[in-house]
Structure 1
Amino acid sequence: MSRRNPFLRPLAAALLFCCIVPPATAQRVSARDKAAAEALVQRMAAAEQRYRDALVLAGNGDPRGAGEGNAALEDMEDVVDACVKLRGCPLSDLLATYKRLLKARADAEAGALDEPGDEDQPLGADPELAADVPEAARTVALLGGDNRHAFDRMVRYNPAIQAGIRRWLTDMRPQLMTSYENYQAMRHLMWPEFEKRGLPEALLFGILAKESNGRVHSVSRAGAAGPMQFMPATGRRFGLGPDGTGFDTRYDPRAAAEASATYLNERLRELNNELELALAGYNGGEGRALRVHRGSGGGSFWHASVYDQFPAETRDYVPMVIAAAWIYLHPRQFGVQFPRVDAQPATLRLARPASIYELTVCLGNAGSRDGYMRVLRNLNPRYTAEETIPAGTVLHATTRVAALYQRHCVDGPRAELARALVTADVNAALVRDVPAGSVAVGEATPLPAGVPATIATGRPQPATPKARQARIYKVARGDTLAGIARRHGCQVQVLARANGVKAPAYTLRQGQQLRLEGCTR
């Protein structure tokens, strides 16, 4: 919305009018005027609610917010104008409403503005964040928030860290913003695990941003998986890996954060609380970090004799993690305005079977640039994007996602459209060519000698083609009927009828055996 409030002038006029007109109670008020005044009060209340809703829209980046807010303000102006002319109208009450709204607007705008003098502050830990972290002294020391020893100053002004900040703020800015959005939705799951173990939140964010951009299903070429990228063997040491259902808990944000914090504290204890070396061990192997640390006599990561013993990937990883942490701690000092994210946890119960793909379509992207598929996947890592989730399943979400689900995904045109889009089969669009002048007669079956084959023989029995044996396919985890049909060259509807699978959900269960009826591959 525009920072200049179009209602300020009428508001000033109304205030002046209050000073010169007699109190409403001193005037004789008719029943008709009383009814009109009550109608204005109700109209003002509706405009107030409309204005507050517009502030929420604007705060979430919705372009409708500005228009709705301006329309609400114009309605308030009309109400005040009518109230001034009406006997017995409670003008002071209406002005109190304006005062509340103007304060709400000011508070909303203040949150987006830089604080005076912030640019000139040293790169120390923000007081409000430090107060929220247990063992704050340790946290500040780890991330260079005071000047008690040279290590803190080195981290704060090291050109390698500055170069990392430059990269995050230039060609890697989209990844930084994506990491922030993803982290905010998972923060209630991950941050408590670091907090309980006395580690700073900024460190958690820095690792998450560098490792996975906050995508819980990330898998590296080397086999590291999850938001914190644990290798299988390391994950098993800290309780991560396949559980009884086959789900790999490396993908679980809470479990991954707990394991990560425990692992880091283990490294810090054996590396004399050298944060850079602990991060080097996280990326390049704990054994290597410990050997280098002992061989150097406890030298800093930035000593050339130590630094050069780590691979190039680790030498890049350490400053990039710390750089992301610095930006997270001090966004205003770098001109960064992180997006506002609706991260209030909520749940929703599926009213009908659906996949995360289907939910992503019907939810739309109101209040979010990229929609809500990543939020649903991150908060519900046990489900693949395409598998059909049964009705009655409770999914983790945010308050916004839950509200959009009730509005668009339970029933209605968008819900039906989403269902049609995710079950659409490319093969159904293909028209099979038939050679000109030919008639499709099916498979010919040779007749044995002596079998009558002309009408002169009376009533010959029609030749029956030899039945083709249908192959059997066993449904694997994450399979959908449309996907199976694509792989085996058959139509979804034919496959569904042959196996008694009901449309439109086409729900399958793991281990179910399907007859590949009419399939060509």
Structure 2
Amino acid sequence: MFAIALGLCGCAGTPQHAKPKTTAGPDDAQSAALYARLDQDAKRYEGGLDLARTGNSAQAQVEIKAALDDLRDAATRCSAVNGCDSQRFVAGFDGLLRQGVGGRSDQSSEGDTASPTPEATGEAGVDSPLGTALPELGRSVTLLKGRELGDIIAMNDPVKAALEEWLTQYRPNLMTAYENYQYMRYRMWPEYQKAGLPEALLFGMMAKESGGKVHAVSRSGASGPLQFMYATGLRFGLGTVNGFDQRFDPQMSARANAAYVNEQLAIFNNNLELVIGAYNGGEGAMLRRVGKAGGQQSFWNPDIYASLSQETREYVPMVLAAAWLFMHPERYNLVFPKISGRPGSITLKQPASIAELTVCFGQDANQRDGWFRTLRNLNPQLDPQAQQSIGVQVAVPQRLEKVYVRDCTGGRWPQLASELHAAAVPAPSPVSLARSSTTPSRKGKSYVVRKGDTLSTIARKSGCRDASDVAKANGLRAPHYPIKPGQLLKLPDCG
């Protein structure tokens, strides 16, 4: 269900992956000849569509296939010609596929009725954790308006560059995002399913935005697993209720994200690349760029692509690449961990905080990182340091229900967790801290962090709307904004 442009072997990528051409001057004659082929292939493709509409399907397939094959060849040659703009071929291919049926997997080689792709029948990717489990997979691998995804991913250089990044330096981020998502999937995926959107898109956006960390906050104040700005969140039903910022709720944020995507798909004529770009850089800015580009409304159109920020040019391929890896890890020598995300809950038999439960659960069935992040993600409304009283229900993965009864209702582990949690860090008086501070606030307002404080609770106490206001005033770095008991914070004047 993605509107990725059918890029070609020579299409433009991100700067770090760009392939330099010869140092000689531009070859205008060769470039002009290739551009002419682009125009001719476009006319031939459109003629094939006309044949299909009149019922001449056999000849239509011949014309369409010939046009696409020649366009691929011209694009490949363009990449070797100095001065030839490969981006024009990307945008051209994208425009053609929006007019009707798409790439080779849409066409039958024998001229018969087109058969479904292996992905659509669930036969491909048998080693993928999604390959046999998700009946909606067939819809996810088909682009909006019937455009095929597999051929596009294989040829689009910006997406291939993004695939390499996810598989190399960002592989740990991808694996963490996948693990986090599996535990939240039962809350997030139904919202996308009801909206008629593919799950892979949800994962791709979440992986790029927050890595599945529900309490992530950017320097600009975007918050939650899908990083909504406060005003945008309000527009899609994410407010603040009883002191809880609903942008941090995984289910509500998925619902709001799906509503945003569908709203923008209607505005951008089902062009998902433009929608993803608008999500990152703002829909107003994207609309202005699309308007200036006239009828060539493709993310890959040079007039649009080149005018975008470097962040947005990289953001869109990264989202699409993460989505593709989510569906077909086996094609890239990638193995996602097998995780049972079945939901469960426990009713506290004795007072405990999320932090204490994390110590008590240890690494049972989660040998790498423990359970702190998972418990926080599943209980975003709970302060992780605040003890909850007896009888409070806490959401946990189902596998931890028995662990809680076995290890956390009595004995050494809850006792140890309580002892560690009760430890008090000596803090100098606010007066002495203020004297030693080299960066006093302009109005002299300050706050000494206490045990159990979070930046969000401190922000609320100081009258600030977002934790990022306090973070910015104190030079705290996203996304974790680390604070510790005894630390002196400047409080900004938030009115």
TM-score band, normalised by shorter chain: 0.5 to 0.7
Question: Aligned pair in 2 of structure 1 residues 274, 265: CA closer, same or farther (>3 Å)?
Answer: same
Residues 409-451 of structure 1 deviation map (CA, whole Å, 9 limit, x = unaligned): 11101110111111122449xxxxxxxxxxxxxxxxxxxxxxx
Q: State yes or no: 1:273 paired with 2:270.
A: yes
**In structure 2, what residue type is equivalent to 1:372?**
W
Say whether the 8 Å CA contact 1:123–1:145 is kept in structure 2: no
Say whether the 8 Å CA contact 1:216–1:251 is kept in structure 2: yes
Question: Aligned pair in 2 of structure 1 residues 475, 234: CA closer, same or farther (>3 Å)?
Answer: same
Q: 1 CA distance for matches of 2:414 and 2:168?
A: 39
**In structure 1, what residue type is equivalent to 2:258?**
A
Q: 2 CA distance for matches of 1:186 and 1:242?
A: 21
Q: 2 CA distance for matches of 1:381 and 1:299?
A: 39
So what's the TM-score if we normalise by structure 2? 0.59
Q: 2 CA distance for matches of 1:135 and 1:176?
A: 20
Q: Give the alignment of 1:64-463 within 5 angstroms.
A: 127=122, 132=134, 136-137=138-139, 140-142=142-144, 146=148, 153-243=151-241, 245-296=242-293, 297-368=295-366, 369-427=368-426
Say whether the 8 Å CA contact 1:125–1:329 is kept in structure 2: no
Structure 1 residue 272: deviation in Å? 1.2
Question: Aligned pair in 2 of structure 1 residues 130, 398: CA closer, same or farther (>3 Å)?
Answer: closer
**In structure 1, what residue type is equivalent to 2:303?**
S
SS where residue 244 of structure 2 aligns? Answer: coil
State the structure with bigger RCO (CA 8 A, min sep 6), 1 or 2.
2
Q: 2 CA distance for matches of 1:143 and 1:154?
A: 14
Say whether the 8 Å CA contact 2:153–2:160 is kept in structure 1: no
Say whether the 8 Å CA contact 1:133–1:139 is kept in structure 2: no
Structure 1 residue 146: deviation in Å? 2.5
Q: 1 CA distance for matches of 2:147 and 2:416?
A: 53
**In structure 1, what residue type is equivalent to 2:398?**
T
Q: 1 CA distance for matches of 2:403 and 2:394?
A: 14
Structure 1 residue 320: deviation in Å? 0.3
Q: 2 CA distance for matches of 1:181 and 1:162?
A: 23
Q: 2 CA distance for matches of 1:181 and 1:135?
A: 19
Q: Give the alignment of 1:35-74 within 5 angstroms.
A: none
SS where residue 143 of structure 2 aligns? Answer: helix
Q: 2 CA distance for matches of 1:154 and 1:272?
A: 19
Structure 1 residue 342: deviation in Å? 2.4
Question: Aligned pair in 2 of structure 1 residues 389, 145: CA closer, same or farther (>3 Å)?
Answer: farther
Question: Aligned pair in 2 of structure 1 residues 334, 143: CA closer, same or farther (>3 Å)?
Answer: farther
Structure 1 residue 476: deviation in Å? 9.7
Structure 1 residue 334: deviation in Å? 0.8
Q: 1 CA distance for matches of 2:146 and 2:274?
A: 15
SS where residue 146 of structure 1 aligns? Answer: coil
What is the identity percentage for the equivalent residue pairs of Structure 1 and Structure 2?
A: 47
Question: Aligned pair in 2 of structure 1 residues 397, 206: CA closer, same or farther (>3 Å)?
Answer: same
Listed as ranges, the gaps of 5+ residues in structure 2 are 1-116, 124-129, 428-446, 459-495
Q: 2 CA distance for matches of 1:294 and 1:166?
A: 33
Structure 1 residue 157: deviation in Å? 1.7
So what's the TM-score if we normalise by structure 1? 0.56
Q: 1 CA distance for matches of 2:341 and 2:331?
A: 24
Question: Aligned pair in 2 of structure 1 residues 133, 256: CA closer, same or farther (>3 Å)?
Answer: farther
- Indicate the residue corresponding to 2:56 in structure 1: none
Question: Aligned pair in 2 of structure 1 residues 291, 136: CA closer, same or farther (>3 Å)?
Answer: farther
Question: Aligned pair in 2 of structure 1 residues 335, 123: CA closer, same or farther (>3 Å)?
Answer: farther
Structure 1 residue 168: deviation in Å? 0.5
Q: 2 CA distance for matches of 1:331 and 1:364?
A: 30
Residues 365-398 of structure 1 deviation map (CA, whole Å, 9 limit, x = unaligned): 0211111111110010001221111111001111
Q: 1 CA distance for matches of 2:122 and 2:218?
A: 37
Say whether the 8 Å CA contact 1:217–1:226 is kept in structure 2: yes
Q: 2 CA distance for matches of 1:135 and 1:367?
A: 28
Q: 1 CA distance for matches of 2:207 and 2:303?
A: 28
**In structure 1, what residue type is equivalent to 2:392?**
T
Listed as ranges, the gaps of 5+ residues in structure 1 are 1-121, 429-472, 485-521
- Indicate the residue corresponding to 1:21 in structure 2: none
SS where residue 410 of structure 1 aligns? Answer: coil
Q: 1 CA distance for matches of 2:168 and 2:272?
A: 26
Structure 1 residue 154: deviation in Å? 4.0
Q: 1 CA distance for matches of 2:420 and 2:342?
A: 30
Say whether the 8 Å CA contact 1:218–1:227 is kept in structure 2: yes
Q: 2 CA distance for matches of 1:325 and 1:142?
A: 14
Question: Aligned pair in 2 of structure 1 residues 124, 291: CA closer, same or farther (>3 Å)?
Answer: farther
**In structure 2, what residue type is equivalent to 1:202?**
A
SS where residue 229 of structure 1 aligns? Answer: coil
Say whether the 8 Å CA contact 1:123–1:156 is kept in structure 2: no
Residues 93-147 of structure 1 deviation map (CA, whole Å, 9 limit, x = unaligned): xxxxxxxxxxxxxxxxxxxxxxxxxxxxx99567266994559557611498727
Larger Rg: 1
**In structure 2, what residue type is equivalent to 1:215?**
K
Structure 1 residue 292: deviation in Å? 1.6
- Indicate the residue corresponding to 1:70 in structure 2: none
Q: 2 CA distance for matches of 1:253 and 1:414?
A: 30
**In structure 2, what residue type is equivalent to 1:186?**
M
Question: Aligned pair in 2 of structure 1 residues 275, 422: CA closer, same or farther (>3 Å)?
Answer: same
| Residues matched between the structures, number | 313
Say whether the 8 Å CA contact 1:358–1:422 is kept in structure 2: yes
Q: 1 CA distance for matches of 2:254 and 2:279?
A: 13
SS where residue 198 of structure 1 aligns? Answer: coil
